[in-house]
Chains A and B, each alone.
Chain A
Amino acid sequence: MSLDYKNDGAFHEKVIEEVLAAYPEKFAKRRRKHLTVAKPVADASETAEDGGTVTECSVKSNIKSLPGVMTIRGCAYAGSKGVVWGPVKDMVHISHGPVGCGQYSWSQRRNYYTGTTGIDTFVTMQFTSDFQERDIVFGGDKKLVKIIDEIDTLFPLAKGVTVQSECPIGLIGDDIEAVAKKKAKEIGKTIVPVRCEGFRGVSQSLGHHIANDTIRDWVLDKKESDYEPTPYDVNIIGDYNIGGDAWASRHLLEQIGLRVIASWSGDTSLAEIERAPKAKLNLIHCYRSMNYICRHMEEKYGVAWMEYNFFGPSQIAASLRKIAKQFGPEIEEKAEQVILANQPLVDKIIAKYRPRLEGKTVMLYVGGLRPRHIVTAYEDLGMKIVGAGYEFAHNDDYQRTGHYVREGTLIYDDVTGYELDAFIQRVRPDLVGSGIKEKYPVQKLGVPFRQMHSWDYSGPYHAYDGFAIFARDMDLAINNPVWGLFDPPWKAKETPVLEAAE
């Protein structure tokens, strides 16, 4: 049910030029390479996954942010501790260095999990080595040894420990790998040293990669497992269970007859990570943050991988069929049954919300996946994506983006605070989806907003159960009466600049 529309590319080109004019010349030149408008592709033989138009939206990406521009990006530590390792629930993750990084990321990513926190699970706790000046001067390895002992004493049911390096660790020459090896032997548990110091790389992205590599180097193949595989075993990879996303997805996969033997890394246990190479297929949700380990598992264990998309009924159905195809007619049949069984729910949701959302325009700026993945879910509700960009995407993500976004869509990589504000003011979308730092500036403009990292404390948004919530949330954001209260009745409403509307 994809919509057919084009965005006003010429207007977007003009907006890009306006924005660049604010920079010192040297930096305008560099920023220009990160901003574009989606173009039609000459070779129409290439068709998109959902059958829509394929566009070309490549920009320079995954390169250093300019100093002083108010990049929205985070760091490698955020990519490792905050994204990949943090949700692993039965291990203790030490934020190794000063207190801040662990404090600001404490409980902020809504990686839902089950367990008794502080006893057998530890996700919503902040463990830190709280570096002091003496640790910087004399090194923190001895402190780390003591910390691991203290964890072992106070949290005997923890299955292991990861050491999430903050900036100073790599600068002062600590040898956390040596400590990890020694202590792992002593306490008989998995200990993973992660070199995710915040100054490494250009964004969260390198942290994902480093964290993936540590799974390969410090977890896989380290223990014997007596697990008996079945032909229907799959892993969910790169779903962090924000608001329970991975559970909604798991529910769907189980319904079509598959066994999810590991869920990385939302609500995951160390055992699930260890066992993952025994699966038949890796189903990868967030390609950006976990493609590395999928490629490794393919190479080393012959586990095939495929991307899927459970946002919105069009993509859910397409993905279920694609997944089922890997497992033969029996599973394919079940997939068709599940799609059919959910159709009445989908129809009712769309009947309820589409009339309230039809034609509304959306700008997205999120991490490395959602600005493309969630496009069709909006279109299922009759909404149009007019702008999309990523904090830390690479070239292959922008290629994939072309499978989703329409001609004329404004594309912005590593957008700066200035640019995003200007784009929103000029384009005046009906909804912006981005993060907490963007939420309040956007809302002040009178533009409805949803946080699309944390689902704005809602969710899940994956699968059929999640689509209902997604539709409800977009409706409540856009159609709340508060947006009509901004202008005091005693003040004449200023005539808006008309250039933006077309």
Chain B
Amino acid sequence: MPQSADRILDHAPLFREPEYTELLARKRENFECPASTADIEAQSEYSKGWEYREKNLAREALVINPAKACQPLGAVFAAAGFEGTLSFVHGSQGCVAYYRSHLARHFKEPASAVSSSMTEDAAVFGGLNNMVDGLANAYSLYDPKMIAVSTTCMAEVIGDDLHAFIETSRQKGSVPQEFDVPFAHTPAFVGSHVDGYDNMVKGVVEHFWEGKERQPNDTINIIPGFDGFCVGNNRELKRILNLMGVKYTMVQDASDQYDTPSDGEFRMYYGGTKLEDVAAAVNAKATLSMQHYCTRKVLDYAADKGHMTASFRYPLGVSATDELLLKIAELTGAAIPEELTLERGRLVDALADSQAYLHGKRFAIFGDPDFVSGVTRFLMECGAEPVHCLATNGTKPWVEDMEALLASSPFGADGKVWQGKDLWHLRSLLFTEPVDFMIGSSYGKYLERDTNTPLIRLAFPIFDRHHHHRFPLWGYQGGLRLVTTILDKIFDKLDADSNEAGKTDISFDLTR
């Protein structure tokens, strides 16, 4: 009996005990009718080769292990960045359970949202009653300042008209006449969560800006985009803007919502852009996006309103941060303070100290289009070489962007851009054209297991490591965190490869 009260074994050690390894072998042998060991080994080997890769890349219909989610997830995340805002997703209720779980697992935080719980009858007759009842309940129970409505694919397939439904609900008294109910259609079968983010932020600003006379002032708006590191990143960005003395409005900021303190109180709503600030943001001089592919529609809308616009692609590292600061300085006339110059110097110092370990290291990167772009640029800046750059939700314009980016540096010479591909494609790429490290989300752990490519977790979602998202990656300070995270993995790998006593430990160096 392996179990004892003194030394309690949970699943990890327990199932390695002989009682269980034997039990599992017996089960397999006698009852599972498994494929033969020879067949499994042959197929395992075959799946690592070029022929399999070609078949794999030739897939036209099947998607395996994609690195993207659906639009409403982005909409729910977006809504969490506005003051007192409750997400209301119109359609089937299971979807909302999924968004909430997904966000909670990454942030280790509450993720509130309600559904209109449509079922078969709503599929036939439409979901108007669900909207009317749902808004009434949500308003009564959860006391929101605003309800942001988005849709699941069910409501989109049957063609429910959100605007008309919301107005009818208002007339029926579900919410007060003047209560804010912005909305966005977010069909899951178009684009991905980054588009859901775009649509919802646009829905919110449109709600406050439409029909308002713009009285230009000298503030700037900043839209951060869908970001699993929003907690650290947005706070760092605000710190920088405050140092520069710039007048700004973060339009959508979930940094406090997804980082509430433990002090005995559950804050269903916390932080976020104040509704009056969203309304006033129409008057801004300019709107900047930190993530171009998360904000294409809302930036177009801001431009229509007369804003100057500019977008970045998840700026990371020295030169991307330089560009961001210069743009802000240019738009606002603010000077870049000495303190930031000092921080810049410290990041450059760190990169110089560590350059020998970064130079020439080859990387695979996967994640959202802006993230992949930002990391690619940073790696080249360090003298590292991006090799496989993959975004399942990348678009053709993203490919052009990425190709131009790779062409801008000799370190990008081996870089290939994989648009619309998934992590099963990446598996083939890693076997056939191996790299030293991989940067992406927790989903990469299966690739790490199969291909032995060490995974550096820097992208949403991160389920199996804690608290990384609390620290910034943006700005010069964020750059320090970023390079340290990458270096830690590089050093851990160096040590792991040289730590067998008497065999490989010749290079088990104390100082590196």
Contact = CB atoms under 8 A, between A and B. Distances in A.
Interface residues of B, number: 109
A416 B11 contact: no
B137 A112 contact: no
A132 B136 contact: no
B157 A167 contact: yes
Interface in A57-108: 64-78, 90, 94, 97-101, 103-106, 108
Interface stretch (B86-94, B226-234, B324-332, B337-345): B86-94
Contact of A67 (B104, B108, B109, B133): B133
B126 interface: no
Contacts of A250: 23, 27
Contacts of A352: 5
B102 A104 contact: yes
Contacts of A100: 69-70, 72-73, 95, 98, 153, 188
B14 A69 contact: no
A465 to B, nearest CB: 5
Interface in A372-418: 416-418
Contacts of A185: none
A437 interface: yes
Contact of B120 (A77, A199, A416): A199
Contact of A74 (B97, B119, B189, B192): B97
A170 B139 CA distance: 32
A69 B141 contact: yes
B20 A251 contact: yes
Contacts of A64: 117, 119
Nearest to A28: B140
B110 A441 contact: yes
Given A103-B69, A444-B265, A468-B5, A167 B62 contact: no
Interface string A462-496: 00110011011000000000100011100000000
B189 A486 contact: no
Contacts of B110: 437, 440-441, 444
Contacts of A433: none
Interface string A440-460: 111111100000000000111
Given A67-B116, A130-B66, A168 B5 contact: no
Contacts of A171: 123, 154, 157-158
A67 B130 contact: yes
Contact of A103 (B34, B68, B131, B446): B68
Given A67-B130, A75-B95, A132-B190, A120 B136 contact: no
Interface in A17-41: 22-24, 27
Contacts of B493: none
B56 A154 contact: yes
B31 A126 contact: no
B133 A68 contact: yes
B119 A98 contact: no
Interface in B69-115: 69-70, 72-73, 88, 91-95, 97-102, 104-105, 108-115
Given A100-B188, A153-B55, A472-B8, 19 more contacts: A66-B137, A70-B141, A75-B94, A75-B97, A98-B188, A101-B95, A103-B68, A104-B102, A108-B105, A114-B28, A117-B446, A120-B34, A150-B59, A154-B56, A157-B35, A171-B158, A272-B32, A436-B104, A441-B268
Interface of B: 1-6, 8-11, 14-15, 19-20, 23-24, 27-28, 31-35, 39-40, 43-44, 47, 52, 55-56, 59-66, 68-70, 72-73, 88, 91-95, 97-102, 104-105, 108-120, 122-123, 129-131, 133-142, 152-154, 157-158, 187-190, 192, 260, 262-268, 424, 427, 443, 446, 450
14 contacts: A23-B137, A24-B136, A67-B118, A72-B97, A78-B97, A97-B188, A99-B69, A267-B27, A444-B263, A444-B264, A460-B14, A468-B5, A471-B8, A486-B264
